[in-house]
Amino acid sequence: MKKNILLDKVIMLFISIYLLLPLILTFIYSIFNEWTSILPSGFTLKYYIQVLTDPLFIASLLRSLIISFIPVLVCTLAMILVFYVTTLYFPKLERIIEILCTIPYSIQGIIIAVGVLSLYSGIGGMLSNRFLLLVGTYCIIILPYVYRGLKNSLNAIHVHTLIEAGQMLGCSKPKAFFSIILPNMLSGIVVSMMISISMIFADFVIVNIIGGSYFQTASMYLYKAMSKSGQITSAIIVVLFMTTLLISKIVTNIENKTKRKEK
Amino acid sequence: MAFIEFKNVIKKFDDNNVLKGINLKIEKGELITLLGPSGCGKSTLLRCLAGLEEVTSGEIYLDGENITNIQPQKRGIGMVFQQYSLFPNMNVYDNIAFPLKQKKVSKEKIELKVKEALEMVDLVGREKAYPQELSGGQQQRVALARSIVQEPKVLLLDEPLSAIDAKLRKSLQEKIKYIQKELGITTIFVTHDQDEAMIMSDYIHLFNQGNIEQSGTPVEIYTNPKTKFAAEFIGHYNIIEKEAIENIFGTLDVNSDYVAIRPETIQLSKDKINDFDICEKATIISYLSHGNVLRYTLQCKGIKFKADVLFRSFTLYEVGDTIYFNIDKYNILEVSENAII
């Protein structure tokens, strides 16, 4: 038994090193001066100062955050409403919804992006607004992840019996869904939202095709910086990583607080 | 008018006719049981009363009011489900307080009522526990407390003890019966377990294929089944064709095609006993121990019978023994093949 625990720890250590090593090296590379021989010539934070004081970077980071959150919120809310309708009133539609929501898995992002752009860019008015096109496209891209996350958390509870129990205790069907079922899906909602946010935050292909120069995000800023300096690129990567880490921490804290409040 | 009345209630699921015109009256304060095998329609009838299923046709009255088309939450009915159905994100206190919060009862009153309900189901001190931290029996007691705390007009229990082990089930049966008598709530209990129905009920309605096969007190149904199905389901009766039994015992004063004999009314003996109307030789084929009762299978002139004997050393017979099969004629009951509706 002890041997097994030791083996587990060794495996975990190797995996952690494997996952963290690129980040640690990137960070080390970003905090040193010229590194042309075996050892760097000195320690510096100038690349971080340079990146964080660049208004273009701050603006692109904010754009990345906005475009990561809005489609996820829209898609999650829409899927919750879809589940509300299919669970309570049209259970036979669940199969069709599942097929529809799984289709985006099989289509590459680049195809969706080019398709959306060629369909809507010439229309003019609100429909050809690049931001709205991006939101719509990302909603499609993340749909399978949001669907699967919500569906799994719904499958983990006896939805129909809980709703019936709620009805027998004085709730209407909609109230039972939102006051009993939804709180029990919270973990699933948070997990699927986090996966989707990090997917969009890291995207370059779709935002580059649809947004282009109209909507420059952090990943596009990073792409441009790559040709200038290795250290600046490393500093940007570390800042972006810390940003996603911070978002994850905030979301999990909110989730834990909600759970504690319920308890 | 009865407190609860079903008037020609029919329920169909597509082409499947699950309830075939149920007419049933239930008086206030009774604990009645809907008994029957799986798929006979007993739970469907309960769900129709709760409002969780719409009836295809017919009417349901509760306390003089036609509730056929009223939403479940407005019927004033409490229900305990087989799967407990406690809300996983709420602790015991919040689960029990839930129906009171829906009625916007004051916080002080909620505290008082939850406390009373917890005392009634012996769960004081477990208020902060979550459903997943409780045993099956405790979860079902919370579900019971949650239903009675809202003071329903009727309490429905849909096979509430099916998922609970035998020992705990007995104590919960007593608990439910005690609470029902204490509060005087009209209670409808659904079960497929005839022993449970006998223990719990003031009155039993035996269901078969969407119809009520027979209704009566537990003693009436047990001692006087009217049909083959009732006799087989309620008491492990020996069901024998009239002709076959008359070949052994001679002509009987029976009008039906079948007769039923309760296994415990047959007395076995090594020697001939003259006190009985019928005394015939039989051979022991096999026996099974049911705890305090031994169930013998014996053959008498080509017909197999089951006979129950209390497990005492002097009643032990071995396979192959020839013994005497004794019975009084009044214990041979006539039963019809189908229910007379």
For residue A66 the two structure tokens come to 């906005």
CB–CB of B81 and A170 under 8 A?
no
| A62 closest CA partner among A251, A225, A221 | A221
For residue B59 the two structure tokens come to 């009417």
C-alpha distance from B145 to closest chain A C-alpha (Å) = 12
Closest residue, chain B, to A170 (C-alpha): B73
pLDDT of B315 higher than 70: no
pLDDT of A191 higher than 80: yes
**Cα gap A236→A47, rounded to integer Å:** 9
Domain boundaries, chain A: 55-225
Question: What are the pLDDT digits (tens) for B160-199?
Answer: 988 788 888 888 898 899 989 988 999 999 999 998 999 9
pLDDT on residue A260: 59
Whole-angstrom CA distances from B186 to B2, B155, B181, B238 are 12, 6, 9, 35
Q: Alpha helix (H) ranges present in chain B?
A: 42-50, 92-102, 107-120, 136-148, 166-183, 194-200, 218-223, 228-235, 242-249
Mean pLDDT (whole number) for B294-319:
86
C-alpha distance from B160 to closest chain A C-alpha (Å) = 13
For residue B9 the two structure tokens come to 């209630």
Q: At what angle do helices A130-155 and A55-88 cross, to 10 degrees?
A: 50
Asked if this assembly's ipTM is beyond 0.90, the reply is: no
**Cα gap B161→B199, rounded to integer Å:** 13
pLDDT on residue A180: 92
Domain A55-225 sits in CATH at: 1.10.3720.10
C-alpha distance from A159 to closest chain B C-alpha (Å) = 9
Tell me what the pLDDT averaged over chain A comes to. 87
Q: How many residues does chain B have?
A: 341
CB–CB of B78 and A168 under 8 A?
yes
Out of B51, B87, B130, name the one closest to residue A162 (CB).
B87
CB–CB of B88 and A157 under 8 A?
yes
C-alpha distance from A163 to closest chain B C-alpha (Å) = 9
pLDDT on residue B64: 92
Phi, psi of B318 (to 5 degrees): -105, 160
Binned at pLDDT 50, 70 and 90, residue B7 comes out as very high
- Structural domains of chain B, with CATH: 4-225 (3.40.50.300), 231-335 (2.40.50.100)
pLDDT on residue B278: 85
Out of A161, A167, A186, name the one closest to residue B72 (CB).
A167
Find the helix or strand (DSSP H, E) in which B288 lies. strand B278-289
**Cα gap B6→B8, rounded to integer Å:** 6
Closest residue, chain B, to A184 (C-alpha): B89
pLDDT of A202 higher than 90: no
Find the helix or strand (DSSP H, E) in which B78 lies. strand B77-80
Closest residue, chain A, to B155 (C-alpha): A168
Question: What are the pLDDT digits (tens) for A29-81?
Answer: 888 877 666 777 778 888 899 889 999 999 999 999 999 999 999 999 999 99
pLDDT on residue A261: 55
Mean pLDDT (whole number) for A109-117:
85
CA A183-A188-A190 angle, to 5 degrees, is: 90
Mean pLDDT (whole number) for B271-281:
85
- Does A38 touch chain B if contact means CB atoms closer than 8 Å? no
CB–CB of B85 and A161 under 8 A?
yes
Find the helix or strand (DSSP H, E) in which A87 lies. helix A55-88
Least confident span in A6-10, A212-216, B99-103, B269-273? A212-216
Residue A82 vs residue B1, higher pLDDT:
A82
Tell me what the pLDDT averaged over chain B comes to. 90
Question: What are the pLDDT digits (tens) for B203-250?
Answer: 999 999 999 999 999 999 999 999 999 998 887 899 998 888 888 777
**Cα gap B51→B40, rounded to integer Å:** 19
pLDDT on residue B149: 94
Mean pLDDT (whole number) for A86-90:
89
pLDDT of B341 higher than 50: no
Mean pLDDT (whole number) for B60-79:
94
Mean pLDDT (whole number) for B116-142:
92
Q: Alpha helix (H) ranges present in B149-255?
A: 166-183, 194-200, 218-223, 228-235, 242-249
Residues 6+ apart with CB under 8 A from B240: B258, B259, B260, B261, B303, B305
Binned at pLDDT 50, 70 and 90, residue B56 comes out as very high
pLDDT of A231 higher than 90: no
pLDDT of B89 higher than 50: yes
CB–CB of B50 and A171 under 8 A?
no
Strand ordering across the sheet containing B16-26: B16-26, B4-13, B57-62, B65-66
- Does A180 touch chain B if contact means CB atoms closer than 8 Å? yes
CB–CB of A172 and B71 under 8 A?
yes
**Cα gap B144→B124, rounded to integer Å:** 14
**Cα gap B78→B176, rounded to integer Å:** 14
Q: Most distant CA pair in chain A: distance in Å?
A: 76
